[in-house]
Structure 1
Amino acid sequence: MKINLKSLLNPQIDRRGFLKSSALFSGAAAVTAGLTLPFKTTKVQASTLAESADKEKVVWSACTVNCGSRCPLKMHVENGEIKWVDTDNSGDDNYGEHQVRACLRGRSMRRRVYNPDRLKYPMKRIGKRGEGKFKRISWDEAFTDIAADITRIKKEYGNEAIYLNYGTGTLGGTVTKSWPPGGSLLARLMNLSGGYLNHYGDYSSAQIAAGLSHTYGGWANNNSPSDLENSKLIVQFGNNPAETRMSGGGVIHHFMEGKAKSNARLIVVDPRYTDTAGGREDQWIPIRPGTDTAFIAAMAHVMITENLVDQPFLDKYCVGYDEKTLPKSAPAKSDYKSYILGSGEDAVEKTPEWASKITGIPADIIIKAAREIGSTKPCAVIQGWGIQRTANGEIASRAVAMLSLLTGNVGINGGGSGAREGGSSIPFVRFPTLQNPVEASIPMFLWTDAIVRGPEMTAVKDGIRGKDKLDVPIKFIWNYAGNCIINQHSDINRTHDILQDEKACEMIVVIDNHMTSSAKYADIILPDLTTSEQSDFCMDASAGNMPYFIFASQVIKPQFEAKSIYDICTGLAEKLGVKEAFTEGRDQEGWLRHLYQLTRAQDPSLPEFEAMRKQGIYKRKVKDHFVAYQDFRNNPKANPLSTPSGKIEIYSEKLAELAETWDLAEDEVIHPLPVYAPTFEGWEDSKQGNYPLQLTGFHYKSRTHSTYGNVSLLQDAAPQEMWINPMDAQGRGINNGDLIRIFNDRGELHIAAKVTPRILPGVVALGEGAWYAPDGQKIDHGGCINVLTTQRPSPLAKGNPQHTNLVDVQLVNKV
């Protein structure tokens, strides 16, 4: 369907070109490629608003979805209804004090609030899980049934059988936050009721968090994107903020401003020519998925043999680059330099010619890139989370960091650590969730396994933490503001079969705004309020040189019978006998005032509560860019890292220990060094079986994961398509726009083809987050990539390898 631009530019015209009574966007809104709008919004004076108050009121709200930004929205309300949505118009728009303009997703908030899929009242399942058949029930009946099931399951199995599933639908909120689940109000409720089975890691960054923690200790920071104004070269590995973090407060704005100031060269390494490249790049290096470590090893070979490494930095700050800094426990020749030069255990020299066969990158390009990175300083190496979301993503994340380490760019302006971008924030006191009495924790990706084989799961095989093994399977699931029950979890057909067995997981409670794919698998559904129907403080997640937070006020009255998560938990707390302990005598407004008072006690410069409500957004310009590990670089003895050695660990004794003690499959690799290891369902396997194409996913600009996936206007602007190179398409008789079947032994989906040279031959790509829409024959017509992804976890983090898949593609009419 074609988009009528008039309907987007004029809030009084619909997409057919007809007048309408209410509007979606401000008159300044326009379709873009997914970036923040390239013009200034019109300032609205307070006096103008006062003059029209009898006709219209304007209320500050926010978009709090999981895109890495929090964006302010100005909701224009008439007679209790949102008529159109504007965005930030405060400040003079000088960089560092700029307007935080929401992207087109946030500006479509009105279509989320009034969406046909909106959940209206509590419901109880009457069909099979997944059928979407429910009956309406009262709130009291819902609370009574849920409390009874919690009490029964606690008595029969213990609190370890109750699980808070992963959800990120409301991110950055204070009362409403869904991530991490351990920081949500449900966690507070369950902690007052005996606890719950916890999880660690997340779908976005489990592998990089685990991998780089063994390099830098703890969560690995990087310089803020605003610091790119000091860089001479920027190297992006699988990082695409133009689509993932595309608002005025997001990384892409700071990236563009910083790069414009420095005029730094940009190298983009990605199998797909992304919108972040989009004419900004000086070089695009398309690479086969899962082979980044081989590419980096070959560049390291060039740097070492041509004396382009920063030896003094490696000697002073790092462990295990060469033999003289190896730990005493390490075998001889187990250092990184020996591995690269072929004198290590595998006796393979990691030359550009060796890597070229693996990566598909010509040797001369590898050599040129290595020389440029090795001779240009400061150089900012940044990795997105795409390359670590693979079968050996932990190793890949450590490998990217090697480029920063070999060149000594860590801890300096314009350089970086090789991790994802960092940033500054304004400290804010968050809602207390109390201590979880249950010690056991599972990797978040293995919750379906914990249903079917919970007591078989152990620490050394499945990464169980807090105890050696689980005692009971998962019997009760809380799913708040998340679509991971089915849509965002891997191997949907397997998950469907597991959830169909009501004797396995006995109760699933979904709290959400819409009838998502996951909500259809609930036993009881509780309708949640949107951000527009309640008040909350919302924090920015990835600011560069201007951190901020938003007071999102209640814009309209709650729709239908929906309740806030605070009121839902309060009602359940009363049934469970912990209401007083849960509320501490406060309602939601009372908690907001209390938490803000505590925050202002730490920072008296913040506005008063009512002034903040009126102001809507608070911005703070940061004088100095955030530079990761700067204190360590300046004085490593006074500021040691939290690694066992206190230094940057290229060779990790802890990883060597895990490699020896954990129960791993033959093709699973945990290694003390960032070595290249072929992945299951990787490029090597594509030459041997029935599925010759590597399928990778990407975050799509029409959605934030699955949020906004049911907004028809955004679907029309950026339809779900599978990217395929003309060479691969021609051999299959596929033309642009053809309906194709993408399939492997896990499932099949039908979707339109996007034939484009912007994807490497042998690789196809599909935007993640599209809503699962099966036809009853296990064929998905919504384009949900997780019909095809595997539930086999990565070796170290036990994370999701959702970009490691082999598939084939055919025309639908070709069987």
Structure 2
Amino acid sequence: MNRDGRAPAGRALKILPGGCPLDCPDACSWQVEVADGVAVGLRGTPEHPYTRGTLCVKVNQYLEHTRAPDRLLHPLRRTGRKGEGRFERIGWDEALDEIAGRLTEVIDRYGGQAVWPYQGTGNLGYLQGLQGRAGSRLWNTLGASRHDMTICSIAGLVGTGYTLGTSRGIDPEDLRHSRLILLWGCNTLTTSHHLWKVLSQAQRSGAYVVAIDHVLTRTARLADEHVPLNPGTDAALALGLLNVVLSLGAEDRTYLAERTVGWPEFRARIEQFTPRRTAEICGLPVETVERLGRRLAVTRPTGMKAAQGIQRHAGGGMALRTLAALPGVTGDWKLPGGGLAYSTDGYFGGDREALFRDDLLPGPVRSLSMTRIGEALTTVDDPPVKALFVYGANPATAVGGQSQVRAGLLREDLFTVVMEHFRTDTVDYADIVLPATMQTEHTDLLDGYGHMYITWNEPAVAPPGECLSTTETFRRLAARLGLTDPALFDSDEDLARALLSGGHPSLDGIDLDRLRREGYARLNYPSPYVPFADGFPTPSGKLEFVSATAAADGYDPLTGYTPPQEAADPELARRLPLVLISSAPHFFLNTTFANRQSLVRRAGTPFVELHPDDAAARGLAEGALVRIFNDRGDFTARLQVSDAVRRGVARTTKGWWSKLTGNRAGVNATVDERDADMGGGAVFHDNRVEVSAAE
């Protein structure tokens, strides 16, 4: 091929449609250029209205990633102790025989619920990944425990649901119509860079962009204003801004009277959050709260974008519940470009139940939380988890309570299968390792949780070695288990047609033939789109500041502010005065790409960043090797000293593999294995630590 990655002259070139499956709201549409059966080029689809021909710095190297020399190409069986990562090559027949035999033994002795299919966000596709709960038909037939996906956005999804009746908000593309844009914990240039094109367009049209973030991120540097609040205090800031709106008499009284429930009670709560009290909670100057509150009061429409990080603490669900309530006070929900964008996932009206086939369950089964895997593997005994099947996930690195997680994975009586592309930290604990296809090698159908498009992924090249797709692996395993239900053997095309055939209005005119022909389609919603122009899908049909549903679920019926748990403990704050934030890295995506050396070189080494005052108080200098610790665990990193972080905050990035950095543990060794306030969400950012020189 030529140096530019294109086929030399005279070689036939095919262009096949596809899409990025990774855990990113942008869900890019791409095109793969293939010559003589080899993928020679990858680019964002030029005409796609959101992708606009560009991919991120990570995915630009995806083709090279698929051809990496350390890729898993054959099934493996463990030969050493768990955690050592010593394996021998075996064939697929031998691997499937052993898996089927061990699963049968476990189910016969302990029942199907002793099997835990542990699926992560490594692939978000509807056929091969998490959105479609890939493999659920097999697991339902076996009566396996239900995997409760709690690591990403669940607290915020539940919280917005209490206010709006749904987690759906505005189309992020409609932020181009906003005149004030509040980015709540959203470093879009790193985590969803296509959105920045929308925001910069709005800026050029006169919009004022505010980055509300405890770190001066890449995005905050390009915003018109940066508000560096204390971690976990976003809901308090929202209430304080509304307090200023009320003091100016700028609330939308007609909208409040006609379209909301519980306004008198919510108004009383807002009145408790004076600018001075809000400033104390958030660690901000009073003038900042008052100035931004005045801007909010007079600027219509105001659009907001919240990312997942702000709900990963003990008050995370309430934080998103309150952000969703804010445009109800100002009336922005009635305006194009007004309201909150958190996740667009619910707009795709595919028939997910036809894909999942929960009717195949033999009876009720328990749910096991993704973020409580350490606890489940070491304490649950009714029945105990005896078989763990991990795919699209790297729990040894990516989940809180890392010490307990790894202790559970070390159990010799736990039969563990890992389906993977590379030898991650989790692979080292497997009994059987299965080589999986990557996105250019299998069929998939994708949507995005940050836009309104669905994408068809056509396999562009043959899988290398003996790699199999997730769907094919489960078809073969079902056969080896002696199962006969036809639903277990549906082809990928059959699965896609079942998903698209539910008759939902969002899919009018969109079928598999069209997707295969065109590569992508916008869901059938107008643009711009005012989602609640005809009412809210709540029990009352209105925006609910007071929610009877929340009360019935055991929560405060009234929207408000719930502080992070560890911030509210003064003794803990004295012993461990820093709040550790593990933000998204620019060159990895969760733990994906953390073994790609070209990206690792650009990412540097694992680091922790402190404000100059915090570093000086500990006698620490730039570049020092430091220990970050609390009562749960510790890890080491190189110190960066910068006023890009506020005092009292330590910042690092997630995603590093311990085995590749020489660390015996990573950041999640310090994170508590407990739930956020709603939905069982994770608490990665509700984490107090201290930092000292490493020995």
TM normalised by structure 1 equals 0.78
Partner of 2:69: 116
Offset at residue 265 of structure 1 (A):
0.8
Q: Secondary structure at the match of 1:124?
A: strand
Offset at residue 619 of structure 1 (A):
6.3
Partner of 2:467: 562
Aligned equivalent of 1:194, options 114, 119, 142: 142
Q: Superposition pairs for residues 190-229 of structure 1, below 5 Å?
A: 190-191=139-140, 193-217=141-165, 219-229=166-176
- Measured in 2, the distance between the counterparts of 1:589 and 1:75 equals 20
CA deviation map 1:233-275 (0-9, x unaligned): 11121122221112xxx43333333443x42111111101122
- Measured in 2, the distance between the counterparts of 1:524 and 1:579 equals 24
The AA in structure 1 aligned to 2:388 is I
Q: 1:554 to 1:675 in 2, by over 3 A?
A: same
Q: Secondary structure at the match of 1:689?
A: helix
- Measured in 1, the distance between the counterparts of 2:348 and 2:8 equals 31
- Measured in 1, the distance between the counterparts of 2:160 and 2:509 equals 36
Aligned equivalent of 2:43, options 87, 107, 110: 87
Is 1:339 matched with 2:269? yes
Q: 1:301 to 1:482 in 2, by over 3 A?
A: same
Q: Secondary structure at the match of 2:575?
A: coil
Is 1:179 matched with 2:130? yes
Is 1:321 matched with 2:247? no
Aligned equivalent of 1:702, options 587, 606, 610: 587
Q: Between Structure 1 and Structure 2, whose CA radius of gyration is higher?
A: 1
The answer as to whether partners of 1:142 and 1:524 remain within 8 angstroms in 2 is yes
The AA in structure 1 aligned to 2:26 is S
Partner of 1:627: 530
Partner of 1:155: 108
Q: Secondary structure at the match of 2:308?
A: coil
Offset at residue 452 of structure 1 (A):
3.2
CA deviation map 1:436-471 (0-9, x unaligned): 34433244323333333336xxxxxxxxxxxxxxx4
The AA in structure 1 aligned to 2:221 is G
The AA in structure 1 aligned to 2:401 is D
Offset at residue 130 of structure 1 (A):
2.0
Number of aligned positions between the proteins? 690
The AA in structure 2 aligned to 1:226 is E
The AA in structure 2 aligned to 1:185 is A
The AA in structure 1 aligned to 2:690 is D
Partner of 1:498: 408
Offset at residue 749 of structure 1 (A):
1.8
Q: 1:526 to 1:352 in 2, by over 3 A?
A: same
Partner of 1:463: none
- Measured in 2, the distance between the counterparts of 1:710 and 1:521 equals 18
The answer as to whether partners of 1:551 and 1:617 remain within 8 angstroms in 2 is no
Offset at residue 282 of structure 1 (A):
1.8
- Measured in 2, the distance between the counterparts of 1:201 and 1:746 equals 24
Offset at residue 490 of structure 1 (A):
0.3
- Measured in 2, the distance between the counterparts of 1:769 and 1:97 equals 27
- Measured in 2, the distance between the counterparts of 1:390 and 1:601 equals 36
The answer as to whether partners of 1:476 and 1:508 remain within 8 angstroms in 2 is yes
Q: 1:396 to 1:194 in 2, by over 3 A?
A: same
Q: Secondary structure at the match of 2:680?
A: coil
- Measured in 2, the distance between the counterparts of 1:127 and 1:388 equals 40
The AA in structure 1 aligned to 2:318 is I
The AA in structure 2 aligned to 1:88 is G
- Measured in 2, the distance between the counterparts of 1:619 and 1:653 equals 35
Offset at residue 754 of structure 1 (A):
2.7
Q: 1:642 to 1:367 in 2, by over 3 A?
A: same
Partner of 1:68: 25
Aligned equivalent of 1:298, options 215, 240, 251: 240
- Measured in 1, the distance between the counterparts of 2:50 and 2:282 equals 43
Aligned equivalent of 2:650, options 754, 758, 764: 764
Q: Secondary structure at the match of 1:355?
A: helix
- Measured in 1, the distance between the counterparts of 2:386 and 2:2 equals 46
Is 1:273 matched with 2:219? no
CA deviation map 1:298-340 (0-9, x unaligned): 2233333332222332222222221xxxxxxxxxxxx223334
User: Which stretch shows the higher mean deviation, 755-764 or 599-608?
Assistant: 599-608
The answer as to whether partners of 2:506 and 2:524 remain within 8 angstroms in 1 is no
Q: 1:317 to 1:598 in 2, by over 3 A?
A: closer
Aligned equivalent of 2:275, options 349, 352, 358: 352
Partner of 1:420: 342
The AA in structure 1 aligned to 2:267 is K
Q: 1:426 to 1:153 in 2, by over 3 A?
A: closer
The answer as to whether partners of 2:33 and 2:41 remain within 8 angstroms in 1 is yes
Q: 1:388 to 1:110 in 2, by over 3 A?
A: same
- Measured in 2, the distance between the counterparts of 1:303 and 1:62 equals 43
CA deviation map 1:200-257 (0-9, x unaligned): 443111111122222122x3222112212322211121122221112xxx43333333
The answer as to whether partners of 1:681 and 1:806 remain within 8 angstroms in 2 is yes
Q: Superposition pairs for residues 249-288 of structure 1, below 5 Å?
A: 250-260=194-204, 262-279=205-222, 281-288=223-230
Q: Superposition pairs for residues 769-788 of structure 1, below 5 Å?
A: 769-773=655-659, 779-780=664-665, 784-788=666-670
Q: Secondary structure at the match of 1:277?
A: helix
Partner of 1:809: 691
Partner of 2:372: 446
Offset at residue 179 of structure 1 (A):
0.7
The answer as to whether partners of 1:164 and 1:479 remain within 8 angstroms in 2 is yes
CA deviation map 1:274-306 (0-9, x unaligned): 222232x22111001122232233223333333
Q: Secondary structure at the match of 2:356?
A: coil
Is 1:508 matched with 2:416? yes
Q: Superposition pairs for residues 239-638 of structure 1, below 5 Å?
A: 239-246=186-193, 250-260=194-204, 262-279=205-222, 281-322=223-264, 335-341=265-271, 349-416=272-339, 418-420=340-342, 422=344, 432-435=355-358, 436-439=361-364, 440-454=366-380, 471-483=382-394, 485-503=395-413, 506-543=414-451, 547-555=453-461, 557-579=462-484, 581-582=486-487, 584=489, 587-588=491-492, 609=513, 616-617=519-520, 624-632=527-535
Q: Superposition pairs for residues 659-670 of structure 1, below 5 Å?
A: 659=554, 670=555
- Measured in 2, the distance between the counterparts of 1:591 and 1:50 equals 37
The answer as to whether partners of 2:82 and 2:410 remain within 8 angstroms in 1 is yes
User: Which stretch shows the higher mean deviation, 645-654 or 800-809?
Assistant: 645-654
Query: Where in structure 2 are there 5+ consecutive unaligned residues?
Result: none
Partner of 2:545: 650
The answer as to whether partners of 1:696 and 1:803 remain within 8 angstroms in 2 is yes
Name whichever structure is richer in helix by fraction: 2
CA deviation map 1:709-750 (0-9, x unaligned): 211111222334322222222333434443322222222222
Q: 1:603 to 1:758 in 2, by over 3 A?
A: closer
- Measured in 2, the distance between the counterparts of 1:519 and 1:509 equals 8
- Measured in 1, the distance between the counterparts of 2:552 and 2:445 equals 44
Aligned equivalent of 2:11, options 53, 70, 74: 53
Q: 1:722 to 1:253 in 2, by over 3 A?
A: same
TM normalised by structure 2 equals 0.90
- Measured in 2, the distance between the counterparts of 1:601 and 1:306 equals 42
CA deviation map 1:746-786 (0-9, x unaligned): 2222222332221111101112222233889x743xxx321
Give the percent of matched residue pairs that are identical in Structure 1 and Structure 2: 26
Q: Secondary structure at the match of 1:751?
A: strand
The answer as to whether partners of 1:73 and 1:106 remain within 8 angstroms in 2 is no
The answer as to whether partners of 2:210 and 2:227 remain within 8 angstroms in 1 is yes
The answer as to whether partners of 2:506 and 2:525 remain within 8 angstroms in 1 is no
Q: Secondary structure at the match of 2:163?
A: helix
The AA in structure 2 aligned to 1:63 is C
- Measured in 1, the distance between the counterparts of 2:447 and 2:26 equals 9
Q: Secondary structure at the match of 1:631?
A: coil
Q: Secondary structure at the match of 1:405?
A: helix
